[in-house]
Structure 1
Amino acid sequence: MGDRRQQRNRPILIVGLGRFGVALGYQLVAQGREVLAVERDRGLVQKHADALTHVIEADATDIEALRQIGAEEFDAAVVGVGTSIESSVLIAVNLVDLGVDHVWAKAINPAHGKILKRIGCHHVIYPEHDAGVRAAHLVSGQMMDFIKFDDDFAIVKMHPPRDLQGKTIDQCQPRSRHGVNVVGVKSPGREFVYAQPETLVSPGDTIIVSGDVRKLEQFADHM
């Protein structure tokens, strides 16, 4: 337990202070994490120096520059460079070669992501694509929030479909009838509770549902 807690508190290396890197860095700092950001644009370094834990001006495509800042001592590093695929790949391969345990990298398209995986990146992120998929589900008006995981599995926040309103979970049987699981229920003015067979779902409630993306979409269509 102590080792896991210590790993969660370890500093995180972020390379590139574009919109993605800045948003990531600021959020990590807000969560109490220590961040070392590396950026070769002096103006961006100066702009974010006061908000992030440490900001260093350096060219991360040069493996020696990464060695000088001790990049190999980090457990996790994120390559936020996206405008230049060549720079992104060079930085990522440098971090992999330095033995960083978890290298995350932003990809701007599938071909870019394929290259990143081939060179040994542990995690590839498609922020624009993922944001577009999430927005598509939200703007339909059926879902209030949408998080997709691997293998087309997702968790959504939504208002209960008509089939659930005024019934308990046991009465409406969402798993057997729709192939989804109602995980939690929130009534107005109350906290979320884990859904039990006897949990009553009211029209004004908010529910958390998990399952296959297509089945969730079909479930939401019962509104």
Structure 2
Amino acid sequence: MADHKDEPVVVIGLGRFGSALALELASRGTEVLAVDSRAKVVQSLAGELTHTVTADCTDMEALRQLGIPDFSKAVVGIGTDIESSILTTSLLVELEIEDIWAKAISRQHGRILDRIGAHHVVFPENDMGERVAHLVSGRMLDYVEVDENHAIAKIKPPRELVGVPLRDTRIRSRYGLTVVSVRTGDAGFTYATPDTVLTYSDVILILGKINDVERFAENN
């Protein structure tokens, strides 16, 4: 498959998630076609995005007129109107869009999107809630699940990791975790190696299974 990294993206549904995504993509230099059925919403973003259109994307002819079949990447940001979300996604699948991302507001909604052919289903509210819960209740500085089984956490190194080379801490064999990066002072993150010696002022990124990451952060 060709590399579509720099190709334009169509974002359908400009609620909080869709509009934030469209603006972020645009700020990164990606060409974005932003579409919503609500003229007022589209007008509010017209000054910030180059291409904004009011259209009903549950209508196949409307999608064709917008040139959607020419896109390789599409995001369905429709959330509360589940019927429109599912129908729009199914039409994008029918148009054979190569990379379809769809927002879901419930697990059942997500399962339907997955079954009709969405390549990626995201749960922004749920994912953010889980992330904030970890930050509020524990000692993590940041936390991101990278798939359904693994997560990366940013933490201050506990006592048992400080002052000795990482190879001697046996963090991988004891906890099933890997220290992938370390930041010292105001410098940026750099790759951690078996010879890396941590200090209490460092910040580290650890990678592992979700349960292992949570257990390590809570108990150290």
Same fold (TM over 0.5): yes
| 1:36-185 correspondence to structure 2 within 5 Å | 36-185=33-182
Task: Tell me how far apart the structure 2 counterparts of residues 192 and 102 of structure 1 sit (CA, whole Å).
Answer: 31
TM-superposed deviation, 1:155: 1.1
SS at match of 1:163: helix
After TM superposition, the structure 1 stretch with the greater mean CA deviation from structure 2, 98-107 or 132-141, is 132-141
Give the Cα–Cα distance (whole angstroms) in 1 for the partners of residues 180 and 118 of structure 2. 33
Amino acid across the alignment from 2:14: L
Counterparts of 2:155 and 2:20, CA distance in 1: 26
From 198, 201, 206, give the equivalent of 1:204: 201
2:6 equivalent in structure 1: 9
The number of equivalent residue pairs is 219
CA drift at 1:188: 0.8
Would you say 1:24 and 2:26 are equivalent positions? no
Alignment partner, residue 216 of structure 2: 219
C-alpha separation in 2, matches of 1:94 and 1:159: 47
Q: What letter is aligned with 2:80?
A: T
In the aligned structure 2, how far is the partner of 1:137 from the partner of 1:190? 26
CA contact (8 A) 2:138 2:217 kept: no
Identity %: 47
Deviation at 1:151, TM superposition (A): 3.7
Tell me how far apart the structure 1 counterparts of residues 186 and 77 of structure 2 sit (CA, whole Å): 40
2:186 and 2:104 map into 1 onto residues whose CA distance is 41
CA distance in 1, matches of 2:94, 2:143: 36
- Return 5+ residue gaps in structure 2 as ranges: none
> TM-score scaled to structure 2, two decimals?
0.96
Give the letter aligned to residue 84 of structure 2: S
Distance 1:182 1:207 in 2: 7
Return the offset for 1:218.
1.7
- Alpha-carbon deviation of 1:163? 1.1
What secondary structure, in the 3-state scheme, does the structure 1 residue paired with 2:204 have?
strand
Structure 1 stretches lacking a partner, 5+ long: none
Report the TM-score, using the length of structure 1 for normalisation.
0.95
Matched to 2:73, the amino acid is A
Deviation at 1:18, TM superposition (A): 0.3
Conserved 8 A contact 2:138-2:218:
no
Given that residues 37 and 54 in structure 1 are in contact (C-alpha distance below 8 angstroms), is that contact kept between their aligned partners in structure 2?
yes
Shift of 1:185: 1.0
RMSD: 1.1
SS in 1 for 2:74: strand
CA shift at 1:103, angstroms? 1.1
Contact 2:151/2:209, CA 8 A, preserved across alignment: yes
SS where residue 10 of structure 2 aligns?
strand
